[in-house]
Amino acid sequence: MKLSFLENNGGKPLIVRKYYEDLNIIDHFSTVLAEMLISLDKSLSQPIVIVGVGTDRSTGDSFGPLVGNMLLTKNIQCPGEFAIYGTLNDPVHATNLENKLKEINNIFYNPIVIGIDACLGRSDSVGYITLAEGPLKPGTGVKKQLPEVGQLHLTGIVNVGGYLEYFVLQNTRLSIVMNMAEVTSEIIAEGIAKTTLYKKSVLP
């Protein structure tokens, strides 16, 4: 796999953004994710840990835990250790995020952490998924100061921001959150699978 997306970005942190119903979003994003993972870990030996931030008590904020739940049902082909934090049964949210991050770093040696979270945006941005290099900054949309998460992140714009953010998140349509979560889980599963194929074909 040639790291074309990263090389064409001129060394800047890469950010890609598409509407969740875009026909090639899964193939495109999974390839970019694979390139990001390979760039972070040339030997593909570091653990990969998914952290879905959010809570099942709010429809809009359940995006991260839904992605975690959906990943549990997939046969993830990972070249090294793989773990999922943040599901509907065991969510990672504002009150336990710091402890969960400490737990991850205590259990796994030098993990690559991928943060997943819902966010709010403009009305014409609802339904867009973003994949980016750099840490997730959860709580920004609701004016909370929380620890940053990971080296890579995926976010889904689930509703319109700028006013009564908690109320907006709680009254977000479940259908769009579910659909965006399913696409995001497929991106992650296929992206990790592509790193596995890369390791088998290129690395000794």
Q: Is the pLDDT of residue 79 over 60?
A: yes
For the chain, domain boundaries:
14-198
User: What single letter denotes the amino acid at residue 190?
Assistant: E
Task: Give the per-residue pLDDT at 10.
Answer: 60
Q: How confident is the model over 24-30, as a mean pLDDT? A: 97
Give the span between the Cα atoms of 186 and 25, in whole angstroms: 10
Instruction: With H, G, I as helix, E, B as strand and everything else as coil, classify residue 159.
Output: strand
**pLDDT tens digits, one per residue of 99-132:** 999 999 999 999 999 999 999 999 999 999 999 9
Arithmetic mean of pLDDT over the chain = 90
- The answer to whether the CB of 3 falls within 8 A of the CB of 39 is yes
pLDDT at res. 50: 98
On the 0-12 / 13-18 / 19+ scale of CB atoms within 10 A, 35 is buried
Cα separation, 12 vs 203, in Å, equals 26
**In the structure encoding, which two tokens stand for residue 13, read together?**
């942190």
3 state SS of 18? strand
CATH 3.40.50.1450 assigned to domain 14-198? The reply is yes
Q: Please return the burial class of 43, using the count of CB atoms within 10 Å of its CB with bins 0-12, 13-18 and 19+.
A: exposed
* C-alpha closest to that of 17 among 131, 158, 167: 131
pLDDT in tens, 121-163: 999 999 999 999 999 998 765 567 789 999 999 999 999 886 7
